[in-house]
Structure 1
Amino acid sequence: MSKKQKNISNSIQPVLTVLGLLAIWQLASSLALVPEFMLPSPIQVIQAFISDFNLLMFHSKITLFEALLGLLSGVSLGVLTAIVMDRFTKVKKSIYPLLILTQTVPTVAIAPLLTIWFGYGILPKVVLITITIFFPVSVGMLNGFMSIDPDEINLLRSMGASHKQIFWHIKLPASLGNFFASLRIAVTYAVVGAVISEWLGGFEGLGVYMTRVRKSYHFDKMFAVIFLISIISLLLMAVVNVLEKICMPWQKQENI
């Protein structure tokens, strides 16, 4: 019973914190501590969200589609790269420094080049998302492979296990925790990457909508988009949590 109460308390505390911040925000807006055109109140943001709901849903479908495509390609490429680097030491020594180097280039600096090379369609957005999430997924999986006790691998080898059997029975299950941890980061990067790429070129999507309302000084609608992006990211993270419980049932048993 105490564990159940603890779980309920852990769920309520973040909600209370958010409600408290919203109350402070509303109070600051009501007292005009910040000009209304710079910081609209939460009520104004909700009204803007409701008034432009259909338009927001249309643009969110475009952004979500781009994010999912980039997520699928980035995760697939990252996992494949981690497997290859784990299997071949020379490949790891050659590729790993390049992975680190890719993180030194700002995403905002890459987006205009991709737009010039691939146009204003969906391709440059998917490429940018793939580049953004490729690093955390590949490094997360590789760290999972490297965290395995060498004695376990040596034991299977002494029993005549092949590389495929070692990977399937030891390395893959042991690396799932790292994979899902990096996947949580990847889903948020995917949505943010899609929005950033839409800022710099495109005709539809939340980033395009955000640019339009910013130019017309509708900051209440800008905040509505920000909240919508946060909600989408939280929903995607919830999906990842469900997938983790399905793929790692033993973790739930350990927590009991």
Structure 2
Amino acid sequence: MKKFMKKGWKPAAVILLLFIIWEASSKLFEIPGWLLPAPSQIFQTGVEGWASYQHHIFSTVQLTIIGFLIGSSVGILIAISLHLVPQLREALYPLIIISQNIPIIVLAPLLVIWFGFGMLPKIIVITLVCFFPIAVSALDGFRQTDHDLKHYMQMAGANKKQIFWKLEWPNALPYVFAGLKISATYSVMGAVISEWLGANKGIGVYMTLASSSFRTDRVFVSIFLVMVLSLLFFAIIILVEKSLIRWKPKGEGN
């Protein structure tokens, strides 16, 4: 709470100011609710419609968690493999970069054609969104390992396995969590995109139905739900990071 009072009040004040300006502009210029609803209207819709979209939230959260865990595992395994086998890194790293230049929104329909409308294409979408930041961050962490410490361990007789688990992996952990924070926010977006593929529930479905019926207020409710879930996942990763990494210098990563 003290940390929030010290640092968090500034962004909170900016957000509050933006909402005040938004609300005042909607009233002053008499903007139609179907075009741009006022924050008060969006809040009212969100409260009154809770029963109609709460099951969509739970579905998206479940899909996000599963996809994030799989995507994170894939990203970490790829990073470790490319680090331990330099020839593999030289061959596959450019392909990993290229994979991120394929728009997910274009690839998604193809996944439906190949794998149907089940859970698998949705998980693939989230995995593709999540694995890249983690893989790249972890590889950077491995490369940033102190060469003097590594040389010292080699002189002391440590083998490659001992050097990796006792030096390179701990050194890369802050970088891994940096990638996890990015992927945590991307995973929610990936889940919503995957739900556009033909799911029967989820925030993406709720957003599509609201958009097709010109319920702009519900579209904004969906947007705010995605933002809240992204921030929540981001905060969880930060808490896990602080509980696992206690050797970072004070002020680093804050």
Smaller-chain TM-score bracket: over 0.9
1:170-194 Cα distance to aligned partner (Å, 9 max, x none): 1111111111111111011110011
Match of 2:23 in 1: 26
Q: Is the 8 A contact 2:33 2:217 kept in 1?
A: no
1:161-215 Cα distance to aligned partner (Å, 9 max, x none): 1112111111111111111111111011110011011123211111011100111
My pick for the range that moved more, 204-213 or 24-33, is: 24-33
Number of paired residues?
Answer: 252
Q: Of the candidates 40, 52, 55, which is equivalent to residue 49 of structure 2?
A: 52
Residues of 1 paired with 2:50 and 2:132: CA distance? 35
Q: Of the candidates 89, 98, 104, which is equivalent to residue 101 of structure 2?
A: 104
Q: Is the 8 A contact 1:56 1:225 kept in 2?
A: no
Structure 1 residue 7: Cα displacement = 6.0
Indicate yes or no: 2:249 matched with 1:249.
Answer: no
Letter in 1 for 2:16: L
Match of 1:88 in 2: 85
Q: Of the candidates 59, 64, 68, which is equivalent to residue 67 of structure 1?
A: 64
Instruction: Return 5+ residue gaps in structure 1 as ranges.
Output: none
Structure 1 residue 35: Cα displacement = 3.1
Q: Of the candidates 187, 199, 206, which is equivalent to residue 202 of structure 1?
A: 199
Q: Is the 8 A contact 2:33 2:216 kept in 1?
A: no
Residues of 1 paired with 2:215 and 2:200: CA distance? 19
Residues of 2 paired with 1:178 and 1:34: CA distance? 46
Residues of 2 paired with 1:30 and 1:7: CA distance? 32
Letter in 2 for 1:152: L
Residues of 1 paired with 2:52 and 2:68: CA distance? 24
Superposed CA RMSD in Å reads 1.7
Determine helix, strand or coil for the equivalent of 2:36.
coil
Structure 1 residue 241: Cα displacement = 0.6
1:50-76 Cα distance to aligned partner (Å, 9 max, x none): 121123220011111111111111111
Residues of 2 paired with 1:33 and 1:16: CA distance? 25
TM-score under structure 2 length normalisation? 0.95
Match of 1:113 in 2: 110
Residues of 2 paired with 1:78 and 1:160: CA distance? 30
Match of 2:167 in 1: 170
Mapping for residues 105-184 of structure 1, pairs under 5 Å: 105-184=102-181
Structure 1 residue 115: Cα displacement = 1.3
Determine helix, strand or coil for the equivalent of 1:174.
helix
Give the % identical residues: 38
Q: Which runs of 4+ in 1 moved over 4 A?
A: 4-7
Match of 2:75 in 1: 78
My pick for the range that moved more, 116-125 or 210-219, is: 116-125
Structure 1 residue 6: Cα displacement = 7.8
Instruction: Return 5+ residue gaps in structure 2 as ranges.
Output: none
Residues of 2 paired with 1:12 and 1:212: CA distance? 36
Q: Is the 8 A contact 1:70 1:126 kept in 2?
A: yes
